[in-house]
Amino acid sequence: MPKKSEILEMGEKAQKASLALAKLSSRKKNTILEAIADELEARRNEIQAANKKDVQEGARNGLNAAMLDRLELNDERFSSMVKGILDVIALKDPVGDVISTWVRPNGLEIRKTRVPIGVIGIIFESRPNVTVDAAVLCFKSSNATILRGGKEAIHSNQALARAMQEGGEKKGLPPNAIQLVQTTNRSAVKELVQLEGLVDLVIPRGGESLIRAVVDDAKVPVIKHYKGICHIYVDKEADFPGAVDIIDNAKTQRPGVCNSVEKVLVHEDIAAEFLPMLANRLIAKKVELRGDPAACAHIPEAIPAKPEDWDEEYLDLILTVGVVPSVDAAIEHINRHGSRHSDAILTSREVARKKFLQEVDSATVYVNASTRFTDGNEFGLGAEIGISTDKLHARGPMGLEELTTYKFLVLGTGQVR
Amino acid sequence: MPKKSEILEMGEKAQKASLALAKLSSRKKNTILEAIADELEARRNEIQAANKKDVQEGARNGLNAAMLDRLELNDERFSSMVKGILDVIALKDPVGDVISTWVRPNGLEIRKTRVPIGVIGIIFESRPNVTVDAAVLCFKSSNATILRGGKEAIHSNQALARAMQEGGEKKGLPPNAIQLVQTTNRSAVKELVQLEGLVDLVIPRGGESLIRAVVDDAKVPVIKHYKGICHIYVDKEADFPGAVDIIDNAKTQRPGVCNSVEKVLVHEDIAAEFLPMLANRLIAKKVELRGDPAACAHIPEAIPAKPEDWDEEYLDLILTVGVVPSVDAAIEHINRHGSRHSDAILTSREVARKKFLQEVDSATVYVNASTRFTDGNEFGLGAEIGISTDKLHARGPMGLEELTTYKFLVLGTGQVR
C-alpha cells in the first residue's frame, strides 16, 4: 500500500478531532483557550526567535519592506494577538443554540440546532498572527483547523501552532484539533482544497491571486471575497459637508483595505456644486482624482478615467468619480461594476434610500455612512474570520456564528409515515 | 467578435431578470403564480401532446418501463403539478424578512435582511413536473431560474417552460425569469455550472452519477445530496414492537427513496431477542436481509454481508443488519459509513438519546421515529426544492427560506470611522 500523503493524513486526523471537538462544553473550550493564551505568553521568546529567523531569511531572499513588516511579530503585535484570545473567550459560543423549534401535527418535535461545520482549512499569506486568530475562532466554534500559511513565515507558524496545540492539550484540546501544513510547496494547497468528505470549508485570506488559485483548484466549498470595489453615490439631495467627510473617511482613513471607497458617483443636478467641494478636500489629502468627462468638467485637476478604471481596486490614494442622471443609473452602474462588497448612498430622500437599499445587490449596503464599517468588530461580532462577497452560507463580515451550520434533531414517540 | 454561446447569453439574461425579480412584492408574485397556474391549465392539451411525443420517442429509443413511467405527465400528475402552484402561493414569502437588527454604540443601525440568491440553475432528469415545481419555488423566492432537464423530456419541458413564462408575463413576470436550456448536449451543463458571476447556485436533482458529473465540473456553488445511506440503531433499552414498526416503515413504505433505511444496527444485549422479531416482520414483507456474523447467528435467513454492503444504497427491499456493543460503536459506525442524511436511534435511555443526537454528524438525527420523515412537506416547509447533505448554507430539507440569502443594510446619520 503506498504511503498516505501528509495532507490526506492531516485531513483524516482533523475529521477525527472534529468529532471530539463537537462534544466539548463552552466552559471547557474557554479553559483550553486560556491555556493556549498562557502557553503563547510562556513561549514568547522562543516564538519571537523563530519569527526573527523568518524575517532574516526574508531579508536575505529580497522581500520588500512592506512584506517584511507584515511578517514581523514584534512585542506589540504579540501582545495584541494574545489579547485577541481573551476577547474570543468572552464571546458567546453559538454551538448548541436552538435556531427554531416546532411540533408537527403527528407529534414530531423538530429542533433546528446550531452545530460546528467540522474541518476548516485556512490558507493565508505572510502575517503569522493569522495562525492564532483563525485557529482560535475555529476552535471556539468547535471546528478543527488545518492551517496553511505563507512559506516565508514557516518558522513563526510552526512555533505558534506547536504552542497552541501543546498548551491546549494540557487542558483537554483533542489531538490534531489545530494542525499546520508543514510542507511549503504549492501542491499541498491543491490537495487540501480537494479533500472532499474530510475538509468541509476552506477560507483563503490574502490577495486576489491567492484566492483565485484556491477557487480554481477547489472541490470543497470556499468562502471568500476577491476584492472590494466599493462605491459611494451622492444623491441630488444630500448633506454636502457630511458627504465630503464620509467620502474623505472612506478613501483616506486606510486606503489599502477592502472596504475603502474606490468609486464615487454623483447625481448630475448637484455635480457643479458638490464636486469642487469634494475635490478640494481630497486633493488636500493627496488623493489622485480620475473622472468621466462630466466629472472632469467640474474638477480641473482630475485625470480622464479609462474604461478599466471602473473595474479596478486601487487600494491606494486614487479615486474615480463619475456623474449619473439618477439613482437608478447609480444602482445599475454599481450592480455591473461593483464587487458586491460594500456600497453606500448619501441622501436625504426616502424614495432614493429605499430603492438603493433594496436594489443594490451587495453584501452590505449603507445609507449616510462610510463603507469603512464593513468589519466584524465594527458590526459588533466581536471578531472576524473574514468577509464574504459570496451569496451562499455567509455574506459580509463573518464571526463565530458564520463558522457554524445546523442540523435537525427530530424527537418522536414511535411515529411512522 | 465571436457569437456568444446560448448558455452565456441565458446567464446574462437571467441576471438581468433577477434584479427585476428582487423588486416584486409578494402580492405581485402571487398574482403572477396564479397566471402561471391558469396558463398551464389552459394549455393542458398542448402540453400533454408534447409529453406524448416524448413518451413515444422514448419508447422507440428503448427506455425501460420505469423511465417511461417517470416521463409521463398523465392527468393526475398534471393536476397535482398545478395544485402545487396553489400550495406555493399560500406559503409565506421569506424575502424582505429582517433576520436580526441591532444598533451600534455609534448609532449605526444594522439590519440583516433576507434577500433572494439571484440566479439558480436546476439540473434534473426525466420527470417533467420538476420543471414547474422548481421554477415556481425559485420564483416565489424572487430568484431567476435556468432549467436543464433530461433530453428525453425536451418537448414536455419546452411546452411547460413556454406556458409558465408567457402566462406569467401577462401579469408582469420579468422577461427571462424562467428559462429552459434548449440544447440537449452535455457540454451545455458544463458551461452552465461554470458561469461564475452569473449563476449563483446550482441544484442538481437526480441519481448519483448526474450529481457527481455536475460537482466535478462546477465552479459555482452546488447544493446536493449524493445518496441516502440511512441508519437505524436499536439501543439496548427500546420498545421492541415500536422498533419493528419503525424499521418496517422506514424500509418498506417506499424503498426507492433517499430517506428509506438501508442499515440497522442492534445493541448486542438485545440481539438474540429483537433480531428474530424484526426478521419475521421483514421477511414477511419480502425484504432480503444481509447480516454481519453476529446478526446472522440470530437470523437464519440472512445472507452474510460483504464489506461493501455497509456503504451501498440499495433503494430496494434489501437491508443490512449488524450487531454493535454500544451506542458509541453505533455512532462511530454511522459517522464512518453513513451519508450524513438521516439516522435514527430507538431508545428509552436518556443518556443514549442525548449522546446520539449530539454526536451523529448528519443533517437530520431522529429519536424514536422513522427516517422517512426527512422531507420538506413532512417537516412543514410546505414544499421542497431538494435535500442537502452538504454542511454549508443549507442542510436537510430545503424550502423557500433556503432559496434565500441575506444582506446587511446599515443605516447611518453621517458616521465615519
B358, B366, B395: residue with CB nearest A406: B395
Average the pLDDT over A214-241 and give the result. 94
| Residue B354 sits at the chain A interface (C-beta within 8 Å) | no
Q: Residue A383's pLDDT band (boundaries 50, 70, 90)?
A: confident
C-alpha grid cell, residue A209: 491571486
C-alpha torsion angle, residues A210, A216, A219, A220 (rounded to 10): 40
Residue A373: per-residue pLDDT: 98
Is A1's pLDDT higher than 80? no
Measured CA to CA, the distance from residue A320 to residue A8 in angstroms comes to 47
B411 touches chain A (CB under 8 A): yes
Question: Average of pLDDT values for A301-316?
Answer: 97
- Residue B110: the pLDDT is 98
Degrees, nearest 5: CA angle B405-B409-B415? 150
pLDDT digits (tens, 9 = 90+) for B84-121: 999 999 999 999 999 999 999 999 999 999 999 999 99
pLDDT given for residue B275 in this prediction: 98
CB-nearest to B22 from A215, A358, A405 is A358
Q: Give B297-327 pLDDT, tens digit per residue.
A: 999 999 999 999 999 999 999 999 999 999 9
Partner-chain contact A246 B414, CB within 8 Å: yes
Distance between CA atoms of B136 and B138, rounded to whole angstroms? 5
Asked if B396 and A380 come within 8 Å (Cβ–Cβ), the reply is no
Our CA angle for A339, A342, A348, nearest 5°, is: 130
Note whether A284 contacts B: Cβ–Cβ < 8 A: no
| Digit-coded pLDDT (tens) for B242-277 | 999 999 999 999 999 999 999 999 999 999 999 999
Residue B104 contacts A, CB cutoff 8 Å: yes
Q: How do residues A86-124 score in pLDDT, each as one tens digit? A: 999 999 999 999 999 999 999 999 999 999 999 999 999
Which whole number is the average pLDDT over A127-134? 93
**DSSP line for A195-255:** -TTT--EEEEES-HHHHHHHHHH-SS-B-------EEEEE-SS--HHHHHHHHHHHHHSST
CB interface of A with B, residues 119-148, below 8 Å? none
Q: Does domain B6-224+396-411 have CATH number 3.30.1330.30?
A: no
pLDDT at B126: 82
Buried b (16+ CB within 10 A) or exposed e, A20-44: bbbebebeebbbbbbbbbbbbeebb
Average pLDDT of span B373-388: 93
- For B177-229, write each residue's pLDDT tens digit: 999 999 888 899 999 999 999 999 999 998 888 999 999 899 999 999 999 99
Model confidence at A4: pLDDT above 90: no
Q: For residue B1, is pLDDT > 70? A: no
Question: How many CB atoms within 10 Å of residue A121?
Answer: 31
Chain B contact for A215 (CB, 8 A cutoff) = yes
Amino acid in the structure at residue A183? T
pLDDT, mean of residues A321-337: 97
B366 touches chain A (CB under 8 A): yes
List the one residue out of B152, B177, B217 whose CA is nearest residue B32: B177
Q: What is the pLDDT of residues B39-86, one digit of tens each?
A: 999 999 999 999 999 999 999 999 999 889 999 999 999 999 999 999
Start-to-end CA distance of chain B, whole Å, equals 46
CATH T-level assignment (fold) for domain A6-224+397-411: Aldehyde Dehydrogenase; Chain A, domain 1 (3.40.605)
Q: Considering only alpha carbons, which residue of chain B is nearest residue A117?
A: B391
> Which of A220, A368, A416 is most worth mutating to test chain B (most B CB atoms within 10 A of its CB)?
A416
The whole-number average pLDDT for the span A291-314 is 97
Class of domain A230-377: alpha beta
User: Looking at the predicted structure, is the pLDDT value of residue A166 above 60?
Assistant: yes
Whether the pLDDT of residue A153 is over 60: the answer is yes
Q: Using CB atoms, which residue from B242, B379, B414 is nearest to A245?
A: B414
Average pLDDT for chain B: 96
In a 3-state reduction of DSSP, which class is residue A42? helix
* Helix pair B26-42, B154-169: axis angle to 10 deg: 130
- Pairing verdict, β B303-304 and A404-415: unpaired
CA distances from B23 to A328, A367, B15 (A): 13, 19, 13
Q: Give the Cα separation of B222 and B144 in Å (integer).
A: 16
Domain range list for chain B: 6-224+396-411, 230-377
- Asked if A410 lies within 8 A of B242 by C-beta distance, the reply is no
Say yes or no for a CB contact (<8 Å) between B367 and A22: no
Task: Assess B49–A contact: CB distance below 8 Å, yes or no.
Answer: no
Give the model's pLDDT for residue B206.
Answer: 87
Residue B185: what pLDDT?
A: 85
In sign, the C-alpha dihedral spanning B170, B171, B176, B181 is negative
Cα separation of the two ends of chain A: 46
Q: Which residue do the cell numbers 423566492 mark?
A: B141
DSSP state, residue B306: P
B-chain residues within 8 Å CB-CB of A107?
Answer: none
Give A2's pLDDT tier (boundaries 50, 70, 90): low
Please determine, for residue B22, whether its predicted confidence score (pLDDT) is greater than 90.
Answer: yes
Residue A25: closest CA among chain B residues belongs to which residue?
Answer: B358
Measured between beta carbons, which residues in chain A are less than 8 angstroms from residue B368?
411-415
**Which one, of B118, B127, B132, lies nearest residue B149 by Cα?**
B127
What confidence category does residue B2 fall into, taking pLDDT thresholds of 50, 70 and 90? low
Residues in chain B closer than 8 A to A361 (CB atoms): 19, 22, 115, 118, 407
Residue A305 DSSP one-character state: P
Q: Does B80 touch chain A if contact means CB atoms closer than 8 Å?
A: no
User: At a CB cut-off of 8 Å and minimum separation 6, what does A346 contact?
Assistant: A232, A233, A234, A235, A238, A239, A242, A243, A246, A367, A368
